[in-house]
Structures are given as structure tokens and as C-alpha cells.
């Protein structure tokens, strides 16, 4: 799907990031905008460690259904270990070729996943297909140019973040999401930004887990020296200790619906 490796190491790192206050708040906002009701069925494309699915299951209840799919065996294993409700099911799945039937879900959610799929338009087409007429979807994505990360060495920061861009197929996906959703048949119901701001570099900050992921990915590419990477990551602890740490990014949330008269 992209330059990222879906390993046990990455699964553990993602699980840790998903438990930070930043991502918990993003998850709550996603659920708020999805506006689920008891008895509804929902599909999570790229469910990761399953925390969003578990939260949605509490809302739809035993008369509803939550299905989570992911390409990572390790992440699906995490999901099944912590599954708390019998009306949740998890499976290995391809976002571009969903195994679910036409018009089988009231809602589809895809958070921070579509940008990793080269054929992102097929993901939208598949989401449209499995939605019931009148059903709704939320896609959440990042534009990696929208990251503001303070460093005393701007040239080094630019080199690292430029190298990081290749970790996904569409590092600037939000810029084209409205058009892509419309082309897939959706009606765009709205778009908003969810901000993440870190003034400390600690275990509860999204940016610390992100820095670890960037360090590992860019290190494998060998287009930034190991010394520069060590200095890049090491700077954050020093800046945080001096009260000078700053990280900010935005999640772009797109809400859309399948017209009630639509087929497929």
C-alpha cells in the first residue's frame, strides 16, 4: 500500500500513539461527527488497533454491528485480543476490494488510511458501494505540509520531513478529497479541521510517537545521515526541557453521504 512496513514493531508503536490524549480526542471528534445511533451498522476501513471500533460498538449496541478491517495481521491480532463486544468483528481486508456486500452499512469511517493506498479513488468507490442509500461516511487525512515543528536547524528538519513524505502514497490528500468524493458519487456534507498542538515532548504527546516512526522510516531509506537523524530526534528532549518545544498539525475531516436514490 505504501512505504510503511506493517510489522509487530509498528503495531506496538501505533497502539501506543492511539492511546495518547491527542488521538483519543481526535477519536471522540470523529465519533461525534459520524453521529451513530443504536442499532446501526458501521465499517471501519483501516481499523488499526481497534480503539475506534470499540468506542463505536458502545453506541450502536447489541442490535448494531461494527466491522473493522486492516491489512496488518499484527493489528488485527491486537483487535481480537481486546475485543469487548460480540457485535464487533475484525478481519484482514483490502480497502480497494472490500469483501462486504453492496449497501450493507449505515456508516463507513476511514481515518488516516486512505492516503496510504495508491489507488485511493478505488477506496472511495468501495466505501460508496457498501453504504446503504442515505448512508454516510467520514474520511480523515493529513496534509504533511501542514506540520509545524520547531527546530533550531530548519535545513535538517526540511530534509527529514521531505524524506518522510514517501511513507504514504498521497502526502497531500486533503487538497483533492472534496473532488474525489464527488467523483465517487458522494454528496459532500462538510469539512473541518481537528488541530493537534504539543508544547511538551512526552509519552502522552502524539508528536513523540510520530518522531519515533519518522526516525525509523527515514533511517531505513538512508537519504538522511544517522548522525543528522539522531540530532533531529534528540533536539526535541532538549527543547521540551527548556520550555521551547512546539509541534502542531491538523487532521482534515470530510463528511459525505450516499444520495438516497443512489444505486450500487
What pLDDT, in 10s, does the model give residues 125-147? 999 999 999 999 999 999 999 99
d(CA 251, CA 111): 9
pLDDT exceeds 60 at position 163: yes
Q: What is the CA radius of gyration of the chain?
A: 19
Average pLDDT score, the chain: 94
Give percent above pLDDT 90 in the chain.
Answer: 91
d(CA 41, CA 105): 5
pLDDT band at 13 (very low <50, low <70, confident <90, very high): confident
pLDDT band at 97 (very low <50, low <70, confident <90, very high): very high
Q: Which of 57-71, 103-117, 150-164, 249-263 has the lowest mean pLDDT?
A: 249-263
Terminal-residue alpha carbon distance, the chain: 25
Rounded (10°) CA dihedral 203, 224, 226, 118: 50
pLDDT exceeds 90 at position 14: no
Q: What are the structural domains, with CATH classification, of the chain?
A: 8-257 (3.40.50.150)
pLDDT exceeds 50 at position 1: no
Give percent above pLDDT 70 in the chain.
Answer: 95
The tens digit of pLDDT for each residue in 182-204 reads: 999 999 999 999 999 999 999 99
Please provide the size of the chain in residues.
264
User: Mean pLDDT throughout 94-101?
Assistant: 96
pLDDT band at 263 (very low <50, low <70, confident <90, very high): low
pLDDT band at 65 (very low <50, low <70, confident <90, very high): very high
Distant-in-sequence, close-in-space partners of 198: CB < 8 Å, separation ≥ 6: 22, 205, 206, 207, 208, 245, 246, 247, 248
Task: Identify the pLDDT of residue 3.
Answer: 54
d(CA 83, CA 90): 9
Amino acid at each position: 500500500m505504501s512505504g510503511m512496513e506493517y510489522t509487530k514493531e509498528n503495531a506496538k508503536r501505533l497502539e501506543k500513539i492511539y492511546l495518547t490524549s491527542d488521538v483519543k480526542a481526535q477519536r471522540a471528534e470523529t465519533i461525534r461527527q459520524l453521529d451513530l445511533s443504536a442499532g446501526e451498522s458501521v465499517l471501519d476501513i483501516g481499523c488499526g488497533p481497534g480503539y475506534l471500533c470499540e468506542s463505536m460498538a458502545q453506541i450502536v449496541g447489541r442490535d448494531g454491528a461494527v466491522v473493522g478491517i486492516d491489512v496488518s495481521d499484527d493489528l488485527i491480532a491486537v483487535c481480537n485480543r481486546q475485543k469487548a463486544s460480540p457485535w464487533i468483528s475484525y478481519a484482514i481486508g483490502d480497502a480497494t476490494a472490500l469483501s462486504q456486500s453492496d449497501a450493507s452499512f449505515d456508516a463507513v469511517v476511514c481515518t488516516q488510511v486512505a492516503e496510504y493506498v495508491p489507488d485511493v479513488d478505488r477506496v472511495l468507490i468501495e466505501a460508496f458501494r457498501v453504504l446503504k442509500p442515505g448512508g454516510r461516511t467520514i474520511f480523515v487525512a493529513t496534509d504533511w505540509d501542514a506540520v509545524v515543528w520547531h527546530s533550531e536547524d530548519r535545513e535538517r528538519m526540511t530534509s527529514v520531513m521531505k524524506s518522510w513524505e514517501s511513507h504514504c502514497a498521497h502526502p497531500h490528500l486533503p487538497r483533492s478529497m472534496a473532488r474525489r468524493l464527488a467523483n465517487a458519487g458522494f454528496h459532500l456534507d462538510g469539512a473541518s479541521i481537528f488541530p493537534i498542538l504539543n508544547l511538551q515532548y512526552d509519552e502522552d504527546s502524539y508528536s513523540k510517537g510520530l518522531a519515533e516512526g519518522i526516525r525509523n522510516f527515514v533511517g531505513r531509506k538512508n537519504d538522511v545521515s544517522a548522525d543528522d537523524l539522531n540530532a533531529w530526534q534528540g533536539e526535541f528532549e532538549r527543547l521540551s526541557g527548556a520550555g521551547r518545544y512546539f509541534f502542531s498539525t491538523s487532521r482534515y475531516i470530510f463528511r459525505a453521504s450516499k444520495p438516497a436514490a443512489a444505486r450500487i
